[in-house]
Amino acid sequence: MRILTGYPIRRAFASAPAAILALCLVACAPSVPPGAGSGGGGASFPHAAGAAADRPARFQFIYVIHGEGSYGFSGAAGVRKSADSEALARAGEVALRSPDAEVFVFHQKPIRLFGAFRIADGTMRQYRNGSLVRKENYRRTGGAFGLEAEAARFRKHAFRIRPEPPAGRVFLYFGHGVPEAGLPSFARGIGLFAAAGADAGGRDTKPFSLVVLSSCNGGIPAAVRALAPHAIRILASPGELHLSYLDAGALSRLSRDGDPRAAAAFPGARAALAESWGRALAEESFAGLRRRTSTAVTVALYDTDKAAAYLDVRRSAWDPAAAPADSLASAASQGIPRHAFRDCSENPGFGPGGSESGAAVFFRPARFGPEKGRASHSGWECPVREPGPPSG
């Protein structure tokens, strides 16, 4: 059993029994903005890897791990661990066990100051074909959720695969939930990674087969709609997520099972691979979370074309900018805490969600509490809105 020791949640649940604390581990607090950076920085430390560094890779996996350092847990031996360090270790395992992949792991750290000087607050590790070939520190730029510094290093060091990007191209984000205000910057940042690996004609309109959002409340309409132009499938949790995050360990196995280029001749080959890989990660993540937790577990795999069309027709049911006045219930009017979320199907006009909305939903209700008898979930989570300023 893992016991949470991170201060934000420990204080909030100080009076709860330890057993319940262990079941409610989540990484849902807002991130601390890293502030504006200035340029690169950090040293490069190449690791000799022989022919592995020069042999083309058939797949690309890009991890961005946000490490604020405020959430931790104690393992069975009582050793304190941090959630981002665990995610970093698992990413390294996938990289070393993927002999046909190029893997970038970006570890975003809190700002550190030495006197009047800011020092590197990010570390990049690059693996190619199962070997670590480069490690360097860098300075983050672009605000709390910008990815400019990471994308620049990817474009500089990534192996350019022509005439088209690999079918198995995956972007994975591990960390705190991205708030709606940060989504435009985050989506633009993911788009910057398309520059390396794309063919010269720019024919690949969705550079990633799969985007994994391993964070709380990743399955909100605003997030899926913002990222839809960049991925064929999106895997996310429309709800709170245990500190162990989603399980991406299957990537190493999937990348060894077959060559996606062998099927590239038929239409829909990339979509078929994205669906297959996304479903495998969804099923394994769901199974693991069910074993480890007693809280509600919701994992969803989104077909971005179908989801975008569904959301566009129903925009007034989830987007405050498009909603008529007072049509979205506010937190204050219902006595719900700020930053609360609820199933979007409870919003008038949103509809049932689920397969009709392009969401393959894996759901298990909580084993205790008022919603333990809940039978299903739409696959979409909507913020409960604060009341706006008075009109007139």
User: What share of residues in the chain are helix, strand, coil (percent, to 5)?
Assistant: 30, 20, 45
Span of 171-180, 237-246, 264-273, 286-295 with lowest mean pLDDT:
264-273
pTM greater than the 0.95 cutoff? no
- Strand runs labelled E in 195-351: 208-214, 231-236, 297-303, 341-343
Q: Beta strand 297-303 with 59-66: parallel, antiparallel or unpaired?
A: unpaired
Helix pair 183-192, 148-157: axis angle to 10 deg: 10
Helix pair 83-96, 250-257: axis angle to 10 deg: 20
Task: Respond yes or no on whether the N-terminal peptide bond of residue 163 is cis (omega within 30° of 0).
Answer: yes
The pLDDT, as a whole number, for residue 390 is 42
Q: Is residue 368 a part of any domain in this protein?
A: no
- The domain total for the chain is 1
Q: Is the predicted pLDDT of residue 376 greater than 70, yes or no?
A: yes
CB burial string 340-367: b at 16+ within 10 A, e below: ebbbbbebeebbebbeebbbbbbbbbbe
Q: Is residue 333 a part of any domain in this protein?
A: no
Cβ contacts of 313 within 8 Å, gap of 6 or more: none
Q: Is residue 340 a part of any domain in this protein?
A: no
DSSP 3-state of 292: helix
CB atoms near residue 285 (< 10 Å): 26
Q: Is residue 330 a part of any domain in this protein?
A: no
Q: Is residue 276 a part of any domain in this protein?
A: yes
CB atoms near residue 390 (< 10 Å): 5
Cβ contacts of 256 within 8 Å, gap of 6 or more: 98, 99, 100
Rounded Cα distance between 312 and 233, Å, is 17
DSSP per-residue string spanning 77-95:
T--EEEHHHHHHHHHHHHH
Which whole number is the average pLDDT over 59-78?
71
The pLDDT, as a whole number, for residue 53 is 60
**Nearest to residue 120, comparing CAs of 18, 40, 176?**
40
Q: pLDDT by residue (tens digit) across 188-228?
A: 999 999 754 444 344 457 889 999 999 999 999 999 999 99
At 170, the amino acid letter reads V
Percent of the chain beyond pLDDT 90?
47
Rounded Cα distance between 114 and 100, Å, is 40
Rounded Cα distance between 14 and 18, Å, is 9
Residue 135, token pair as written in the block: 């490690």
Dihedral, 13, 17, 18, 20 alpha carbons, nearest 10: -80
Q: Based on the number of CB atoms within 10 Å of its own CB, is 50 exposed (0-12), middle (13-18) or buried (19 or more)?
A: exposed
Q: Is residue 108 a part of any domain in this protein?
A: yes
Contact call for residues 56 and 62 (beta carbons, < 8 A): no
Full residue range of the structural domain in which residue 304 is found: 3-312
Q: Is the predicted pLDDT of residue 128 greater than 60, yes or no?
A: yes
The pLDDT, as a whole number, for residue 24 is 39
Contact call for residues 225 and 322 (beta carbons, < 8 A): no
Span of 189-193, 199-203, 278-282, 369-373 with lowest mean pLDDT:
199-203
pLDDT band at 71, cuts 50/70/90?
low
Contact call for residues 66 and 168 (beta carbons, < 8 A): no
Rounded Cα distance between 34 and 342, Å, is 29
Q: Is residue 345 a part of any domain in this protein?
A: no
The pLDDT, as a whole number, for residue 121 is 83
Q: Is residue 342 a part of any domain in this protein?
A: no
